[in-house]
Structure 1
Amino acid sequence: MPPSSVSSLAPERVLTPAGGEMGERIRAFDWSTTPLGPLSQWPASLRTTVNILLLAPLPMALLWGPEGILLYNDGYARIAGGHHPQVLGLPAVVGWPEIADFNRGVIEAGLRGESLSFKDRHLVLHRNGVPEETWLDLTYTPVTDEYGQPMGMWAIVVETTERVKEERRRRRAETSLLVANERIQLALDAGAVIGTWVWDIPADRFSADARFARTFTMNAEHLEEGVPLARAVQSIHPEDTARVEELIARAVREGGLYRAEYRVRQWDGSWMWIEANGHCERDAQGRALRFPGVLLDIDARKKAESRQAFLLALSDRLRPLSEPRAIMSLAAELLGRRLGIHRAGYAEFDASQTMVEFVTSWSEGPLGPLEGRYALALFGRPVVAGLESGQTVIFEDMMRDEGAADVSDALGARAAVVVPLMRANLLRGVLYLNHREVRAWPPEEISLVEEVASRTWEALERALAEKELRELNVSLEKRVEERTRERNRLWELSQAPFLIADMEGRWVSMSPAWTTLLGWSEDELLGRTSEWMEHPEDRNATRSEVSQLSEGQRTLRFENRFRHKDGSYRYFSWLAVPSEGLLYCVARDVTEDKQREAELARTQEQLRQSQKMEAVGQLTGGIAHDFNNLLAGIVGALDLLARRIKSGKLDNVQRYIDAATASANRAAALTHRLLAFARRQSLDVKPTDINALVLSLEELLHRTLGENVSLKTQLKADLWTARTDANQFESALLNLVINARDAMPDGGKLTIETANTHLDESYVRAFEGLAAGDYVVMCVSDTGTGMTPDVVAKAFDPFFTTKPIGQGTGLGLSMIYGFVRQSGGHVRIYSEVGQGTTVKLYLPRHGAEAAAREKVAGEAQRALEGETVLVVEDDPSVRMVVVDVLQDLGYRALEAGDAKQALPHLEGRGRIDLLVTDVGLPGMNGRQLAEIARQKRPGLKVLFATGYAEGAAVRGGFLAEGMEMITKPFPVDVLAARLRAMLTPD
């Protein structure tokens, strides 16, 4: 660079006050340590460029010189994250080492004078010390000095990470919903059925209805009588035939459903997309017999999918192009090949609208490319008038159209389509299609051509806009002086709504996008705050946000609603920064995002409700089945007992009593299992020695397993103490052993192991409600038949069982699962078919190193003289039984139906040694009554009776000193023993 360009500005004018935070950082930075040298020695072009950079409303950076020295504004600083401010003044390849190759290529392109553009570019950045997947819109434009030599590269950086991630999540959700809905629709939408068939496989006789015959262009009478399958598939597209035949063969070979999508030739030679659905029926020996099915018309859907895929591919290939001719050439070629025509291209008009020049032309076949300039009058006034009004002109045969025959001779074509390309309501160019022979243009093809023209014109406009942006860099100082005009020009090109407001929120300047989005004109919006069009529910929050901005705070993400001119409301997400008495704001219209979120939430809620109803139906059905059986045994036995007593025949009375008692005990066991499954049983959680429990049950387990199953125990010597309910653990172990025995009908080996383990955060993260820490593990392993993955996945479901009807309730494993999870533990099943099964129970480690031993209650003893028990029970039958038992044992029994009736007894002076109360009393519950009772009678012993108690889920958090709990239903002797144990001092 010539020496005269080193310092054309005074040092104090190097940076304007509008630079903001980054301006201050740049002024304070020690530039003498960088290749740029001190500020006073910076080239004038660089100083002017930095001023533009700091004034830019968008996140921008400057990569200066061969090293790509980084300078940037406040917007870019926010995107840089943890890299800011360290990367200021560093070469880009040093400041961003994780994308060094990418930045090196950008710098080299800029020094060659090339522009680059990336849409949703995926990069892995280390902005905050860890790798982050990031998506960015990047636009790079060369910066030149006053001699036109490239000196660096502009970079406009807009982060799109959240949008890209949200779009991916939305597409996945939409795809799942579409697939599910499509399968349902195929089963219900009779209007889509276009044929049915039946294939007699042994006779190879394929018969179908008349609709099938029309679809496959076959003789209906022949198909009704039946033809070989090979004859029926002759109309299938050659590219699809092998795949369809393989699917048919697989259905015949393996059985099951058959589904295939393929093309079938029509009478006019075109191809139609259909979907065939059927299934192969077999006899008892597995031989394939019949193959019925239906045809569905999916032609419109497949063509729509093909059209959309073509348009997406077109957009993707046009996006990186920056030269107008390259854009139009590629679009013409892709469209011409898509439609199978002979020529396609782009022509543009001169300013006088009298001449047309064929700029690009693609051809294949009998027509050659079009080149040169032609007088517009050659094409006829009607054609030109139609194009000037924005209408697409269509010729199926120009020789038959008056006034178009000359055009046909000049172009060598018989059929044509011409789409006008408008700018500012003026005809600036056309996209044309020519075909050598007469050709029909179906509406779907015209629609596709117009869509391609629109997208191509948009890409061309973008390329022209970028070209204009590059040309604006020719005079850097002039750009600084005209920065307001330049900002407005950028705003007009952008679809994002930009806004500048004063500190009170009055709109000072706005981009045209606001009028597009809301319908209000610029005169209606400027000079006012937005309060008049804010949604009433958002008004206070919006005023508060404006107040915080006026105090110097930035808005990184704020959402509110503005009223459209038609009365509807639209959602906007805001970024705003206060600077020099003004608020610089960028909004994003997120209305459609909100609608998609609401629709997704509704869909998820419907799915959850469906799943809940399915689970409730399964549970109630199983309960009803088992309880009806149990009640039949109880009611029947009691009915026979009453008849025998009434007739005086007492010889079989004990038999009926035993039968009713057995059914009642089975009902109690079922309710306990249901409570365990629901995690609502009352657990007596205490320090427990698991090894001791296993050893105490060893003899019982041997008898349970029988002679053909060997039992082996491998118990860890220094096993930790577990925190669990010993009785429930014994029941769980017995259930697991019985299941293992049933899985080894021909004998085998059962192993019970114990061990200590620690579950870390990475393991428990996958299981809701499971805490990291120390656990005692018990493994029960068998060498039985094993389970398939499907059975393992449903093993803990209520009433799920693989046993024959009558041999299992399906509540065993679900009870174990509920008990262990309620204890704070975890259960896992590992199984392979033919190799056996292992079930692991993880129980939390208890702090104490010695398991507590429960006292073994002896036989019930009678009451001591004067001992008095207050019974509070809202169920009259239960209350009667308890009172009668107490009186038979010699206790003085007081009774009350609820807490209100019990209070006079507690407030009186009469003797009360023990309170027996139901937990679930109406009004004041049993636990609250016990608190009041102890206030009036300190140290009063309390026995709670419960069948279901939300608050008594774990006894350790429910019972105080001197309190015990008994679970309904309970045997009379157990109640008597518990009373005696509580009233007898240790």
Structure 2
Amino acid sequence: MILTQDHRLVSLQAENEDLRLRLSRAESELGAARRESREHDRDRKPIRRAMRGSEDVYRMIVESAVDYAIIATDLDGTITTWNEAAEEILGWSELQIVGRPIETIFTPGDVQNGIHLKEMRLSLTDGQARDQRWHMKANGSRFFASSEMMPLYDDDDEAVGYIKILRDRTREILAEKELKTSRERLQLALDASAIVGTFDWDVESDIIWADIRFASVFGLPPETAEIGASLEAFVEGIHPDDRERVTEKIRSACETGEPFIEEYRTIDADGRLRWIFCRGRCFLDENKKPVRFPGAIVDITAEKERTLRQAGLLRLGDDLLKEMEPNEYAMNALRILGETLDVSRVGYASVSRDGRTATIVNEWTADDVEALRGDFDLEKFGEEFRFALGGGLVTINDMATDTRTAAHAERFAEISVRSLVNITVIERGELKMIFYVHDDRPRPWSSDDIAFIREILSRAWTYTRRRRAELALVETETRLRLAHEAAEIGTFDYDIVNGKLIWDARCRAMFGIFGGENVTYDDTFVNGVHPEDRERVTAAVDATLDPNKAADYDIVYRTVGLEDGVVRHVQAKGQTLIENGKTVRFVGAVRDITEEKLAEERQSLLTRELQHRVKNTLAMVTAIANQTIRRATNTEDGLEAFTGRIAALSKAHDILVETSWTSAPIAEVVERTLVIHHPGRAERLVWSGPQIMLTARQALALSLALHELATNATKYGALSNEDGKVEIRWTLKSRRPDGQGMSFEWRESGGPPVKEPERRGFGSRLIKQSLAAEFGGELELHYRPDGLVCAMDATLGD
């Protein structure tokens, strides 16, 4: 067996002590006789020789120990021996330290408290004094050591000094402290962010270790998280409708090693439905066999509930447009409220004039829940509860524990009510109506729950009490937008005392940092915030760090990537730790919401563009109406002309809508504009030419011009008889400095003889002005005897 140096020291000390005991026994047994004395001398000599040999070996070990500082002192604590390890660990040479007091290596605080003196006393009384504490080095720095002090004895067993053995454990202590701090930082970050819990599945042994929060979400007791449980136990906590899908996804992740990313529902320890976002990954061994599957879950219940609430409001708004009967609308509102909140019963009751009796008017119930009918004596539910109804709002999380209902909890249990929300209508000081939401489970009602209940009931009440006159107001109420996904979350930890800022990789990415360099509050965080947001953000941080204000840190701001220069939108939430009235730490989470912000900007741009298009179209319609009506010979002709021109404009709009108002094919513009003039004249109204894309304004101008030409041909030209014909042709010409050239020609033949009109009407002006203006070319109308020719030499632009 090979002994370490500290074990060898202990062994030699034991051997030395044994020799001393043997010598003592020998001396007590020898008599005063010479023979006995000679025998006594013969017995003592080998023992003393053994002791001297043991002490020589002991000294050799002391001098050769490299990991242990071994220091000897006299009874006054003056250092007499100092090995090389002591010189290496503490920094003083033997020449520098021998003769100085042992208190030199103790910290000033320990010297003031007399720790070195206590160690010497304790070593004399107990044989040894063990300790772990900080000590001083020659350069003034400190190190942490475990030490043991023992007394030194002479040949007469008299204490002559002390020996102190130290081992430097600074690295171990700092590593332990750093590990503890890291764990604490991670826990604080998890608490501040939306992460609910973490898990680690040993696939081979089928044991999942998780934290308490993770187990609770799946309806398992806390001890299960500590001792571990099988995958099946956790799968049982998944909502039945999601269980098969999630199980299949887990199996697939174990086979492929691909990331597991899923949203699904669970039933927590309180029986409540929860939505979670889970992300993990299965690690495979060299044989592609699943070994370990760690991950984390994020509670997105609040976001899902907001989504469901908005969907409920949207459904209610849609019902408003269906012009339902008031009672049908009210029933629908109750059903939406009950299904969205996942409660057992929703309804409303009228209250008698004396305030003693409530009569059920309308109600929705979940499956297998008995409906309430008829009259109910409110006094049976307790005077305190009845009095509370006069306040307008009553919320009770558990009937059995709330002081207002505990005495009559059995009455509520008879109608399957364990928690409730009551909103009452008070008119002229009298209770008139009770809106109620019941659940057969204990339930903490949040402010969002109350707001949603109020919103639904307010809409239903408005419809039934104020009829359709006020439905428009309900229709225009603000609709909540669907909550964004579970975005990936970054964490930050700001040690205020030491000025140390720690960001994880996601947080760094949101500030455009992709390396591992250190980050600081001023140089990294403040400089990374967009200049226009910097003052607002720093003010919010200062308010959060102020222990007297204790402001919430929930802010949205922009960042400018320090390495990539990319502008990002970030939502940040955090909390502070306060000790002795001072803020010592600031931790939290950040989320990239750039896509949401960009979507808002795109929507605003689209709205402005739509407004611009509508205004332009209305201006065009107004101009056509003014010119048509003013130049019409009679009302009928004016109305007919106006209707035709609007129809042509509408056809062009249809094409532009299909192409998002960017461009329109010329062939489709021609075909759709002339379709109303086309029936029975397919062989007489023909067109041809290459595929050319027109701008929105060009498409509108050409559509109006073609309509005027076709209308004129139908009334007076080639299409007014049975033999006439119209040919439309367009061709591309050579490219010009300002764009691509094009020619367009409308040619009539076979119709009545044509004469140039003495007066040009609005149609002719519309053709020449609109085409010339939008195509940037020249247009000519030739009134030839054999038929009208409209020729345009245009530039399409780029």
TM-score normalised over the length of structure 2: 0.31
Q: Which has the larger radius of gyration?
A: 2
TM-score normalised over the length of structure 1: 0.26
